[in-house]
Amino acid sequence: MLIERIEARWIDAFETALRLCELKEGDSVAILSESQSRRVLIDLAELALARLGCRAFHLVLPSPRPRASVPIRSTGASDALGGQIPVIRALAAVTLVLDCTVEGLLHAPELAGILAGADGRRPRLLMVSNEHPEILERTLPDAALEPVVRHAMQRLRAAQRLTVRSAQGTDLAVDLAGARIGGVWGYCTKPGQVAHWPGGLCLAFPARSSTRGTLVLAPGDVNLTFKRYLRDRIALTIEDDYVTSIDGSGLDVDLMRSYWSAWGDRAAYAVSHVGWGLNPRARWDALAFYDKRDCNGTELRAFAGNFLYSTGANEVAGRHTLGHFDLPLRNCTVTLDGVAVVEEGVVVEGVEENR
Ligand SMILES: [Fe+2]
């Protein structure tokens, strides 16, 4: 069993991550949390910020009532702020928001207002994923990852078409025209920048009517909403962005059908984002070592060479829903305009060397 308490080496880990964010003595930092936040992360953040000489304060909100009768996990869209203007104003005025909310503010409606800043200055935001500190320690941000992710984002931005194939039968095509491209390497240094720890992935939110084909989930692929390795083979038919058929049998298939249908919302079946993992420190097998309460699964979104397919909300396509699946797949070949960036689950090194 993993114990959650202050360990000196975990303060070191927070200090390293925060130094990579280029915080200086005297910088103002808001440690944002809610009543259901993981306490040890808040304490580690405070102690590390004290070492840096930052002026830190805590902003703590009560965790709100659930928005739906269905459990919601790993959406990256915290509703802890509830649109409160005084909270947004306080966060807008700091150098860095250290986001320790359960879900994180990555897709929260208040984020734009916070990043707009105050008095001519804009904050940056680092979301600390709701993981046991041991996971954060293993996936400590590394400056070497930044150029790799930046280069992958440039390639994604320049491409017209992303395709994915696998020996299991995946054969998917995504039109990237009008897509919004994102990428995270685990820290943020510039005003208005957003990052999460663990980081190390690039992704695209495709425009409407962009995605079609077959996505085959195989044993060992992961459903991160359930924090569960799949043991069944599940073939998803995707037509015009939407999963229109779920073929397979077994508990994994039943769970996915059940959760999707519980939303009663067609948008939950649509593509949210597509991308691939680039972080060599993040491990595919990590989920085997932790209880569900110990992890949020961000490590498995970032492990190098995964293809990450996600369903649910996609602002670019004008779809809004709380139903969300993040599905990292192994052993896929991902190509951009016919050139492989991931070959059978391995990041193509030559592509990254040309940065
Ligand atoms: Fe997602």
Instruction: Indicate which CATH number applies to the domain containing 129.
Output: 3.40.50
CA of 206 to the centre of ligand 1 (A): 13
CA of 53 to the centre of ligand 1 (A): 35
> 271 and 152: one domain?
yes
Backbone angles phi, psi at 226, to 5 degrees: -90, -10
CA of 272 to the centre of ligand 1 (A): 7
Does residue 188 lie within any of the structural domains? no
Which residues does 157 contact at the CB level (< 8 Å), separation at least 6?
181
> 118 and 243: one domain?
no
349 pLDDT above the threshold of 60: yes
> 154 and 297: one domain?
yes
Q: pLDDT tens, 19-51?
A: 999 999 999 999 999 999 999 999 999 999 999
Q: pLDDT tens, 161-172?
A: 999 999 999 999
> 109 and 147: one domain?
no
First to last CA, the chain: 42
**pLDDT for res 213:** 98
CA of 15 to the centre of ligand 1 (A): 27
Does residue 124 lie within any of the structural domains? yes
CA of 58 to the centre of ligand 1 (A): 27
CA of 156 to the centre of ligand 1 (A): 17
> 95 and 18: one domain?
yes
CA of 326 to the centre of ligand 1 (A): 5
CA of 9 to the centre of ligand 1 (A): 30
**What is the spatial distance between Cα 300 and Cα 128, in angstroms, rounded to a whole number?**
15
Average pLDDT over residues 68-83: 89
**pLDDT for res 201:** 97
CA of 296 to the centre of ligand 1 (A): 12
Does residue 191 lie within any of the structural domains? no
At which residue do the structure tokens 């996505």 appear?
Answer: 215
355 pLDDT above the threshold of 50: no
> 126 and 162: one domain?
no
Does residue 164 lie within any of the structural domains? yes
Does residue 187 lie within any of the structural domains? no
Does residue 229 lie within any of the structural domains? yes
> 29 and 175: one domain?
no
User: Which residue among 122, 137, 152 closes a domain?
Assistant: 137
> 325 and 228: one domain?
yes
How many degrees, rounded to 5, is the angle at CA 74 between CA 11 and CA 20?
35
> 169 and 274: one domain?
yes
Does residue 1 lie within any of the structural domains? no
Tell me the one-letter amino acid at 122.
Answer: R
> 171 and 299: one domain?
yes
> 127 and 266: one domain?
no
**What is the spatial distance between Cα 238 and Cα 219, in angstroms, rounded to a whole number?**
20
Question: What's the domain range around 282?
Answer: 143-182+197-347
At which residue do the structure tokens 């409407």 appear?
Answer: 208
Domain count, the chain: 2
Q: pLDDT tens, 260-314?
A: 999 999 999 999 999 999 999 999 999 999 999 999 999 999 999 999 999 999 9
283-310 burial, b for 16+ CB within 10 Å, e for fewer? bbebbeebeeebbbbbbbbbbbbbbbbb
Cis amide prior to 64 (ω within 30 degrees): no
Does residue 353 lie within any of the structural domains? no
CA of 60 to the centre of ligand 1 (A): 25
CA of 184 to the centre of ligand 1 (A): 13
> 126 and 154: one domain?
no
CA of 98 to the centre of ligand 1 (A): 20
Beta strands in the chain (DSSP E): 28-34, 55-61, 96-99, 124-128, 161-166, 171-175, 180-184, 194-197, 201-205, 211-217, 222-223, 228-229, 234-239, 242-247, 271-277, 307-311, 325-329, 332-336, 339-343, 346-347
Average pLDDT over residues 308-333: 95
10 pLDDT above the threshold of 90: yes
